Amino acid sequence: MKRTSVMGMSKNQFITLCKYKCYSFKRHIKIGDWVEALIHTITLGYGDRIALGIAKGFGKQSCGCCERKQWLNRLTNPMYDGECNMIKL
């Protein structure tokens, strides 16, 4: 008699299912969104204005917030597109 594990699946099927679930969960974690929320909380909602003011002081046109968020989100989800190109200051 063949030995089965959880819900009548074989060990290999169970491992494959676990890997798929971990991968799909990892795709939903967006590190950039978490960092943005943390900055928003610490600066009482003025993080983007502070960053833009500092960037303008150094002669930059963009504070790089969207690019940072997009880069961090792509660490866990390579298909993430934050559409930073569409945002105009």
Is 2 domain-assigned?
Answer: no
Asked whether residue 40 is domain-assigned, the answer is: yes
Residues 6 or more apart in contact with residue 79 via CB below 8 angstroms: 27
Decide if 6 is inside a domain: no
The conformation of residue 8, written as its DSSP 8-state character, comes to: G
Burial of 73 (0-12, 13-18, 19+ CB in 10 A): buried
Specify if 16 maps to a domain: no
Q: Please state the domain count of the chain.
A: 1
Is residue 17 domain-resident? Answer: no
Residue 45 lies in a domain: yes
pLDDT digits (tens, 9 = 90+) for 55-73: 999 999 889 998 898 899 8
> What is residue 79's predicted lDDT score, i.e. its pLDDT?
80
Q: 66 lies in a domain? A: yes
| Residue 34 domain boundaries | 30-89
Looking at the domain assignment, is residue 77 inside a domain? yes
For the chain (length 89 residues), average pLDDT per consecutive 10?
A: 59 73 67 90 93 94 89 85 64
